[in-house]
Structure 1
Amino acid sequence: MTLNRSILIGRLTRDPDLKYTPAGVAVCTYTLAVDRPFTNGGEKEADFIPVVVWRQLAETCANHLKKGRLTAVEGRIQVRNYTNNEGKKVFITEVIADNVRFLDKQEQQQEQSSTSTNHSNNRDPFAGDGQPINISEDDLPFSW
């Protein structure tokens, strides 16, 4: 038995690139910056991982993802190679995405980038002096 699964959470380093194969199949590519869980002398480091998304999910990603957007990707790691013009073999490692989740709202991400110096929009979700939260039973995913 073999297993090839990868789950990544990071931010897009650039806007996605959507193309179509000669057969009309959509393919979207982008790079995900994933923070490493440690620092190097106090400096945070990140890995920049190429992601490939196919078909309808590719079009959805191209329509909703933008540079800086926080995204989760689930897929498999693929290594491919080719020989370049100089006769050297080039290896490419990428994640072929089966599932992509948009982790921040597009409006929030745009708002944060345009008001990064204005801290008045940062609201404490736990503020309210212990007042009860008004939630109807229809809003709960379970019942008591």
Structure 2
Amino acid sequence: MNKVILIGHLARDPEMRYTPSAIAVTTFTLAVNRHKSKDGMEQQPDWINCVVWQKTAENCANYLRKGSKVLVEGRIQTRSFDDKEGKKRYVTEVVGDNVQFLSPKNQGEKPDEPFLPREPINISDDDLPF
């Protein structure tokens, strides 16, 4: 069984793109604490790359920001691709099927500024690593 559930904070703002067939895909890095000492008092973050698709991708890109606390439920995926220099690269990431927003609705927003969703970035087939 390949199932993972993570709770953490976004390390940076999510990045949304569209595939050539107009499917939304959003990537983000999740900082998840790992106990470093036996007594559990000292913690160290693991930086976990996550990817979500379609409507979940659009919601994450529009409503999450750096520091947002989320629960990601999905599976681990390992894939490879050839970079621009022709060198084979390997990527391990969590493909999220379900993302729950755990931060308060207006966290990180200034009260006097309206929330505006960011514009998606269009990419070509050459920019995709898969």
Is TM-score (shorter-chain normalized) higher than 0.5?
Answer: yes
- Whether the aligned pair in 2 keeps the contact of 1:51 and 1:97 (CA below 8 Å) is yes
Q: How does 1:14-53 map to 2 (within 5 A)?
A: 14-39=12-37, 44-53=43-52
* Larger fraction in helix: 1
Decide whether aligned partners of structure 1 residues 86 and 12 sit closer, same or farther in structure 2, where only a CA change above 3 A counts. same
Aligned equivalent of 1:78: 77
What is the number of equivalent residue pairs in this alignment? 108
Deviation for aligned residue 1:9: 0.4
CA distance in 1, matches of 2:30, 2:84: 28
Q: Where do 4+ consecutive residues of structure 1 move more than 6 Å? A: none
Deviation for aligned residue 1:87: 4.8
* RMSD value, Cα: 2.1
Deviation for aligned residue 1:82: 1.9
Structure 1-normalised TM-score?
Answer: 0.68
Deviation for aligned residue 1:90: 1.7
Decide whether aligned partners of structure 1 residues 56 and 34 sit closer, same or farther in structure 2, where only a CA change above 3 A counts. same
CA distance in 1, matches of 2:20, 2:103: 34
Percent identity for Structure 1 against Structure 2: 51
CA distance in 2, matches of 1:84, 1:21: 18
Decide whether aligned partners of structure 1 residues 63 and 87 sit closer, same or farther in structure 2, where only a CA change above 3 A counts. closer
Deviation for aligned residue 1:110: 2.1
- Whether the aligned pair in 1 keeps the contact of 2:13 and 2:64 (CA below 8 Å) is yes
CA distance in 1, matches of 2:99, 2:60: 8
Supply the AA of the counterpart residue of 2:78. Answer: V
Deviation for aligned residue 1:60: 0.7
Aligned equivalent of 2:99: 100
Structure 2-normalised TM-score?
Answer: 0.75
- Whether the aligned pair in 2 keeps the contact of 1:39 and 1:45 (CA below 8 Å) is no
- Whether the aligned pair in 2 keeps the contact of 1:69 and 1:106 (CA below 8 Å) is no
- The 3-state SS of whatever aligns with 2:36 is strand
**Structure 2 unmatched runs, 5+:** 111-130
Deviation for aligned residue 1:38: 2.8
- Whether the aligned pair in 1 keeps the contact of 2:35 and 2:42 (CA below 8 Å) is no
**Structure 1 unmatched runs, 5+:** 114-144
Supply the AA of the counterpart residue of 2:26. Answer: C
Supply the AA of the counterpart residue of 1:30. Answer: F
